[in-house]
Amino acid sequence: MDLRAIAQDVPDYQVFMTIDELNASSHRLAAEFPGLVSIRVVGQTRRGDPIELLTIAGGERQAFVFGGPHPNEPIGTMTIEYLSRRLCEDSALRDELGYTWHFIKSIDADGMRLNEGWMKGPFTPTNYARHFFRPAPFDQVEWTFPIEYKTLKFDAPLPETQALMRVIDEVKPTLLYSLHNAGFGGVYYYISEACEPLYATFHDIPTWFDLALDLGEPEMNNAVTLAPAIYQMLTSRDSYDYLEQNGIADPAEVLKSGASSAEYASRHGSFFLVVEMPYYDEPRVNDQTPTDVLRRTAILEGLDSQDAFEAWILDRMAEVKADLRLETPISRAVNAFLSTGAQYRQASRQWAQTSEETNRPATQAEYFSNLLGARFYRLLILGMFARMMEAEVEAGNASAAIRSAAEQARARLETQGADLESQLNYRVIPIRSLVGVQTCAGLATAAYLRDR
Query: Residue 242: CB partners within 8 Å, gap ≥ 6?
Result: 220, 221, 222, 347, 351
446 band by pLDDT with thresholds 50, 70 and 90: very high
Q: Give CA–CA dist 62/33, Å, rounded.
A: 20
CB 381 within 8 A of CB 134: no
State the average pLDDT over residues 108-123: 98
Phi, psi angle pair for 156, to nearest 5°: -130, 60
Buried (b) or exposed (e) across 162-173, using 16+ Cβ within 10 A? bbbbebbeebeb
- Please tell me whether residue 54 adopts helix, strand or coil conformation: strand
State residue 432's pLDDT score.
98
CB 154 within 8 A of CB 259: yes
Return the ∠ at Cα 302 (arms to 297 and 293), rounded to 5°. 30
The total of other beta-carbon atoms located within 10 Å of residue 245's CB is 13
What is the dihedral sign for C-alpha 218, 221, 226, 231? negative
Rg of the chain over Cα atoms, rounded to whole angstroms, equals 22
Whole-model pTM? 0.95
In sequence order, what E strands does 186-341 have?
A: 188-191, 225-227, 230-232, 271-276, 280-281, 290-294
Dihedral (C-alpha) 211, 212, 216, 218: value to the nearest 10 degrees?
Answer: 70
For each of the domains in the chain, give its residue range(s) and CATH number, in order of start.
3-282+429-451 (3.40.630.10), 289-425 (no CATH)
State residue 55's pLDDT score.
98
State residue 184's pLDDT score.
80
State residue 345's pLDDT score.
93
Q: Is the pLDDT of residue 341 over 90?
A: no
233 band by pLDDT with thresholds 50, 70 and 90: very high
Residue 152: which region, alpha, beta or left (left: phi > 0; alpha: psi -120 to 50)?
beta
Q: What is the pLDDT of residues 257-280, one digit of tens each?
A: 999 999 999 999 999 999 999 999
CA max distance for the chain: 65
Q: Give CA–CA dist 297/321, Å, rounded.
A: 35
- What is the average pLDDT value for the chain, to the nearest integer? 96
In sequence order, what E strands does 34-156 have?
A: 37-44, 50-56, 61-67, 99-104, 147-149, 152-154
CB 144 within 8 A of CB 257: yes
- The candidate with the shortest Cα–Cα distance to 362, out of 227, 228, 230, 216, is 216
How far from 4 is each of 1, 206, 405, 430, 449, CA to CA, in Å?
9, 11, 51, 17, 19
- Please tell me whether residue 29 adopts helix, strand or coil conformation: helix
- The candidate with the shortest Cα–Cα distance to 203, out of 286, 83, 84, 93, is 286
CB 118 within 8 A of CB 18: no
User: What's the one-letter identity of residue 104?
Assistant: I
State residue 228's pLDDT score.
94
Q: Give CA–CA dist 42/59, Å, rounded.
A: 22
Q: What is the pLDDT of residues 78-110, one digit of tens each?
A: 999 999 999 999 999 999 999 999 999 999 999
Return the ∠ at Cα 86 (arms to 81 and 92), rounded to 5°. 160
State residue 285's pLDDT score.
84
User: What's the one-letter identity of residue 4?
Assistant: R
